[in-house]
């Protein structure tokens, strides 16, 4: 039986540190040790001391709504880190090595573990934690993810655009029994069915735990409307070859609108002048 570990960076508390990578998938075999490197950067202008800890994570109705709890004694034995305490100079980075070994006798249920990197405050300062960062390990038992994505809504706004970027909104729910990877590929086609662009919600795939809901948003084009849009455009949401939904808008460039208006006024003026001459 395999175990899928996903490393997902979630910023927390302050910006005094950053953790990378944002997302990593690791497929391992139950009973076989795994290792994952996490880069920690001191983004402050002071020397900071850090320590690493592990916690259990649970989710309520949203993938962003996290609850942290202490791990059981058995679970704590599954994870360790090389150099659990270290010091970083301003703008210095260090790779910490996280080790895990899920025993073959472990319960066959999905679980999420938080790798918590927190700053140790100066002795006698009376401060508990000044800053912290979290990387989430989504543990999946099985050869592949068993989650199921239900698209609650998929839309593009405004329905009729006048030159502003189109905002794309997706609302998703995981109705399966394991974490699922959300659809992230958006294909844009014009009224003739020709592909005119592609975009994504994020550079890396987003995960959704069991029974939770998550919304994702992006805009197209990201740099503003530099094209002369005219007509209906279709935004198709894909995950691989699977189509999850389509949304349509009618786009009309302000430049083109003004040009057509001026052209219409010019034609109208010519017709009026011609009519006046014919009467005379």
Per-residue pLDDT of 63-121, as tens digits, reads 666 788 898 888 889 889 999 999 999 999 999 999 988 888 876 566 778 888 988 76
Q: Is residue 116 part of a domain?
A: yes
Among 83, 118, 141, the domain-final residue is: 141
The DSSP secondary structure of 81-136, one letter per residue, reads EESSEEEE-TT-EEEEEEEE---TTS-SS-EEEEEEEEEEPPTTS--S-S-EEEEE
Same domain, 105 and 191: no
Structural domain contains residue 268? no
**Distance (Å, whole) CA 1 – CA 185:** 30
Mean pLDDT value of segment 142-152: 75
* Cα–Cα distance for residue pair 256/253, rounded to 1 Å: 5
Domain membership flag for residue 271: no
Question: What is the rounded distance in angstroms from the CA atom of residue 265 to the CA atom of residue 65?
Answer: 56
Identify whether residues 69 and 165 lie together within a single domain. no
Q: What is the CATH number of the domain that holds 11?
A: 2.60.40.10
Rounded to whole angstroms, how far apart are CA atoms 206 and 208?
A: 7
CB-count burial class (<10 Å; 0-12, 13-18, 19+) for 194: exposed
Range of the domain at 119: 2-141
Which tokens sit at 142?
A: 């099985």
Same domain for 228 and 116, yes or no, is no
Question: Do residues 98 and 114 share a domain?
Answer: yes
Range picked from 17-26, 143-152, 242-251 for highest mean pLDDT:
242-251
Residues 113, 61, single domain; the answer is yes
Q: Domain for residue 223, yes or no?
A: yes
Same domain, 80 and 161: no
Residues 14 and 77 both lie in one domain: yes
Same domain? 24 vs 95: yes
Q: CB-based burial of residue 196 (10 Å sphere; 0-12 exposed, 13-18 middle, 19+ buried)?
A: middle
Same domain for 167 and 244, yes or no, is: yes
Cβ atoms of 143 and 178 within 8 Å: the answer is no
pTM for this prediction:
0.56
Do 180 and 95 share a structural domain? no
pLDDT digits (tens, 9 = 90+) for 245-263: 999 998 876 555 555 566 7
Q: Give residue 14's pLDDT.
A: 44
State the residue for tokens 């960062």.
133
User: Is residue 106 situated within a structural domain?
Assistant: yes
Structural domains of the chain, count: 2
- pLDDT tops 70 at residue 130: no
Q: How many CB atoms lie under 10 A from the CB of residue 268?
A: 10
Give a yes or no: residue 279 inside a domain: no
- Residue in 229, 230, 226, 237 with CA at minimum distance from that of residue 188: 237
Question: Which of 88, 106, 141 is the last residue in one of the domains?
Answer: 141
User: What count of other Cβ atoms lies within 10 Å of the Cβ of residue 278?
Assistant: 7
Please indicate, yes or no, if residue 101 is contained in any of the structural domains: yes
Other C-beta atoms within 10 Å of 11: how many? Answer: 12
Q: Is 31 in the same domain as 109?
A: yes
Q: Residue 22: exposed, middle, or buried by beta-carbon count in 10 A (0-12, 13-18, 19+)?
A: middle
**Residue 219 falls inside a structural domain:** yes
Q: Report d(CA 220, CA 45) in Å as an integer.
A: 37
194 and 74 belong to one structural domain: no
């Amino acid at each position: 039986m395999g175990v899928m570990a996903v490393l997902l960076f979630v910023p927390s508390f302050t910006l005094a540190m950053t953790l990378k990578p944002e997302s990593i998938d690791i497929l391992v075999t139950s009973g076989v040790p795994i290792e994952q490197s996490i880069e920690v950067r001191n983004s402050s202008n002071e020397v900071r001391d850090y320590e690493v800890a592990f916690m259990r994570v649970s989710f309520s109705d949203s993938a962003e709504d996290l609850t942290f709890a202490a791990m059981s004694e058995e679970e704590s034995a599954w994870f360790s880190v090389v150099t659990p305490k270290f010091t970083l100079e301003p703008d210095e980075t260090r790779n910490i090595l996280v080790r895990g070994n899920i025993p073959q006798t472990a319960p066959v249920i999905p679980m999420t573990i938080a790798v918590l990197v927190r700053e140790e405050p100066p002795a006698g300062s009376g401060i508990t934690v000044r800053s912290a960062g979290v990387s989430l390990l989504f543990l999946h038992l099985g050869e592949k993810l068993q989650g199921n994505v239900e698209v609650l809504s998929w839309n593009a706004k405004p329905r009729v655009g006048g030159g502003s970027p189109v905002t794309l909104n997706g609302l998703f729910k995981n109705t399966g029994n394991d974490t699922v990877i959300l659809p992230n590929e958006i294909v844009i086609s014009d009224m003739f069915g020709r592909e005119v662009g592609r975009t994504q919600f994020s550079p890396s795939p987003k995960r959704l735990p069991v029974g939770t809901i998550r919304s994702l948003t992006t805009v197209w084009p990201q740099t503003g409307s530099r094209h002369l849009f005219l007509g209906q455009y279709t935004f198709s949401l894909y995950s691989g070859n699977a189509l999850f939904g389509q949304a349509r808008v009618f786009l009309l460039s302000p430049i083109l609108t003004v040009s057509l208006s001026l052209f219409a006024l010019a034609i109208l003026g010519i017709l009026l002048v011609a009519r006046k001459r014919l009467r005379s």
